[in-house]
Amino acid sequence: MSIKTRILNLVSLEGKIAIITGAASGIGLGTAKRLAEAGACAALFDIDESGGEKAVMEIKNLGGVAKFYRCDVTSSTDCKKVTEDVMQDFNRIDILFNNAGIVLRKNIIDLSEEEWDRVLKINLKAIYLLSHHVIPHMIKNGRGSIINTGSGWGLKGGPNAAAYCASKGGVVNLTRAMAIDHGKDNIRVNCICPGDIDTPLLHGEAAQLGEDEAKFLEEAADRPLGRVGVPEDIANAVLYFASDMSSWVTGSVLVVDGGGLA
């Protein structure tokens, strides 16, 4: 076997089944495409049915395999049912990318209790719910890789983002706890902390703050590498954690932010 073939085998996800949440757009869509390109069958979870079906067609046009499942990741009933649907369709789950999330730019005073609950449910509780239903299947399969989307603001504070920072800080430490608990099951759990990524969520932040979008994006690019990220930057990191390239990596928190936290 040639060196090139051995390297390609390390990255290959051929025959693997990967669940991606928040897969209809942004980081989720970019990652679904990358994992499908690496050979995985991408199970796309989202509440956006039209966006999800469009994402499936995009992946198929790239030569990949994908199927859309409508899922409200804050609903235990949905998470259980859709996990069972994936198992019925493919008989295994190898990779879970807990990515669905929202950004709400408010401080504690301006934040309503309902808004606090919504951010924590989508960004943090959803990881618990889906992992709760997926991990038993990974245990039966003898292995698995779970990747959670944190944030640079899960490692440090940020202005006017109290609920978001709290939720992402929770994601970081939940990742570590899951890695400790399920290492014995040969399930690796890791976290990616993106910086500002050019997605609808980032553009929406400017509107929430009442700032000029062009100026907001220019300020977001003020980091050592001089640009905001793109979904593919995060997708490549997810591929690393999903593949055998990271076979001895668990409980890790990888910052992918163009040097912003530096």
Other beta carbons less than 10 A from residue 188's beta carbon: 24
Give me the catalytic one of 69, 128, 164, 240.
Answer: 164
What is the pLDDT tens value at each position of the chain, 262 positions in all?
788 888 889 999 999 999 999 999 999 999 999 999 999 999 999 999 999 999 999 999 999 999 999 999 999 999 999 999 999 999 999 999 999 999 999 999 999 999 999 999 999 999 999 999 999 999 999 999 999 999 999 999 999 999 999 999 999 999 999 999 999 999 999 999 999 999 999 999 999 999 999 999 999 999 999 999 999 999 999 999 999 999 999 999 999 999 999 9
Q: Is 170 within 8 Å of 193 (Cβ atoms)?
A: no
Q: What is the rounded distance in angstroms from the CA atom of residue 90 to the CA atom of residue 73?
A: 20
Domain with CATH 3.40.50.720 in the chain: 3-194+231-254
Contacts with 108 (C-beta within 8 Å, 6 or more apart), sequence order: 162
CATH classification number, 3-194+231-254, choose in 3.40.50.10580, 3.10.180.10, 3.40.50.720, 3.30.420.40: 3.40.50.720
106 token code pair: 């408010």
What phi and psi values does residue 108 have, to the nearest 5 degrees?
A: -60, -40
Q: What is the DSSP string of 163-183?
A: HHHHHHHHHHHHHHHHHHHHG
pLDDT of the residue at 5: 87
Whether the full predicted model's pTM is greater than 0.85, yes or no, is yes
pLDDT of the residue at 4: 84
Q: What is the rounded distance in angstroms from the CA atom of residue 58 to the CA atom of residue 66?
A: 9
Contacts with 193 (C-beta within 8 Å, 6 or more apart), sequence order: 150, 151, 152, 154, 155, 168, 172, 253, 254, 255, 256, 257
pLDDT of the residue at 125: 98
DSSP 40: P
221 token code pair: 């690019």
Q: Is 87 within 8 Å of 135 (Cβ atoms)?
A: no
For this structure, is 69 an active site residue? no
Helix/strand/coil percentages in the chain, nearest 5: 55, 15, 30
Residue type (1 letter), 155: L
